[in-house]
Amino acid sequence: MAILKFRISWEEDDAIYRDVMVKHTQHFFDLHQIILKAFEFDEKHDATFFRSNEKWQRGREISKAVYEKNYVVPPLMMDEVAIGSEILDTNQQFVYVYDFAKSWTFLIQLIQVIKNADADMELTYPMVSRIEGVGPMQYGTKGILGPNFTDIEEKYDLTEAQDGFGEEGEHVHASNGDLEDGDDSSDEEEEEDTDASESDDAGGMFDDSSEAY
């Protein structure tokens, strides 16, 4: 058995990604669920994976269900296909689409294969191992501010600032003639962690090979 580490990037901003780890014997339905958990999405909508190549072209689907649409070939089912059976090289790629109405799209790339001897089997898989960037909001605006907007609003007191705007032609006066000094606090810089892990060679690791992209 082996542990597969995938990087799941939001298609619209590859600086926003999550690293997840799964057993190679687990199914694509397990990968589907951990992706939603990693990006804090619900599980109410349709979803599908596509086999992909280095240019992110979409191949055969590995789907949550058979949907009413035209297929070039019938899709494989998420709950029937083991993830390891679809790993054909050490940089294997997939495309994942969730909620067909909004078409949330994520790019998936295998970044590491951890062989059984080196794997921590006390952990529960699948699991999220790394989070980078503020993820998109599933409902509402897709802006990247997300929950950080509350901190910005409080820091610059945006709600009180709205009281200082009047109708066109009106003059706004500060009460008691006093003006408040601005906040001189500066933002702290965050350091990004670097992932020094290198991919092991997956060649010959899985016996159940499937057809090519």
**What pLDDT digit, counting tens, does each position of 47-62 carry?**
999 999 999 999 999 9
> What does the pLDDT read at residue 176?
45
Tell me the residue type at 47: A
Q: Which residues of the chain have pLDDT under 50?
A: 142-182, 185-204, 208-212
The CA radius of gyration of the chain, in Å to the nearest whole number, is 23
Render pLDDT for 159-198 as a digit per residue (tens, 0 to 9): 444 444 444 444 444 444 444 444 554 444 444 444 444 4
- Cα separation, 65 vs 76, whole angstroms: 9
> What does the pLDDT read at residue 29?
98
Choices 3.10.290.30, 3.40.50.10490, 1.10.10.410, 1.20.120.160: CATH for 2-132: 3.10.290.30
Closest CA to 205 of 28, 70, 3: 3
Beta strand extents in the chain (DSSP E only): 2-10, 13-23, 47-52, 58-63, 76-77, 93-98, 104-115, 127-132
Beta bridge partners of 147: none
What are the phi and psi torsion angles at 131 (to 5°)?
-130, 125
pTM above 0.85, yes or no: no
Buried b / exposed e over 196-208, threshold 16 CB at 10 Å, is eeeeeebeebbee
Q: Residue ranges per domain, the chain?
A: 2-132
Q: Are 47 and 94 spatial neighbours (Cβ–Cβ below 8 Å)?
A: no
> What does the pLDDT read at residue 207?
52
